[in-house]
Amino acid sequence: MNAKWAFRLAVISAVVMLSVSTLMAVTAAPCHPLPMSTLTAFELVRSVADLQRIFGMPGDACRVDLVAQLNHANVIDTFAYIPAYTAFYALVAFALGKRSNTLGWITIALALGCAVADVFENVSMFRLSAAPDVASPWLTGLIASTNAKWVGLAVVTTLCGVMLARRGGLWWIALAACAAPLASSLWALAAPDAAGQYLIPGMVVPSVLLLAVAVWGSFAREKPASA
């Protein structure tokens, strides 16, 4: 597959990703106020107290609808959104990697690793939403997988920026934009409450840029690859 077709498939993957995201809305209010979206707050829980801040106490009326909607969002995430965003980043990395083969394959491998971490994150969330009032090893699993996913995706976009910057000229600006998620994802390791609201906006910046590159690359004349 040449770079042009990889970019075209990446654009299709992005359209699927955006379409699927509209089906993942969580409209039920959390049982207590949160500094970020409910789904992101669930990803970033660190204790049973954090879980109860979202789900309330046993018997609270707010819990039933919230659990149902979060589980619904995670099902869609697992079977549609994760494959779509993984395909998008991997295909963009493949296309950009035509000029830097080793770095491209490393980026693809990291994108696949993030998908595995995200699936494990969702499994942990299913387990925890079923029993949010009890300390569980699934909480540790959620913390590890969430951190791996967010930091890993930030590294993926940063490496895509590195491959763009290697083109020379003003492409170095792309590296700064693609590295934006590193700040929010690393900040979330230490202060999830403070950083959580910036995780998704941080990923939007490089994702929009990479989508623009993919659209442009779908029609641009392809140059010979270098080893």
Q: What is the pLDDT of residues 145-179, one digit of tens each?
A: 999 999 999 999 999 999 999 887 778 889 999 99
On whether residue 63 sits in a domain, the answer given is: yes
Rounded Cα distance between 219 and 175, Å, is 22
On whether residue 155 sits in a domain, the answer given is: yes
On whether residue 111 sits in a domain, the answer given is: yes
Total domains in the chain come to 1
On whether residue 225 sits in a domain, the answer given is: no
On whether residue 134 sits in a domain, the answer given is: yes
Range of the domain at 162: 3-217
Closest CA to 137 of 149, 127, 150: 127
Give pLDDT < 70 ranges for the chain.
222-227
Distance of CA 172 to the CA centre of its chain: 23
Q: What pLDDT does residue 226 have?
A: 44
Q: What pLDDT does residue 227 have?
A: 38
Q: What pLDDT does residue 222 have?
A: 60
Q: What pLDDT does residue 170 have?
A: 77
Q: What pLDDT does residue 219 have?
A: 87
Rounded Cα distance between 39 and 19, Å, is 18
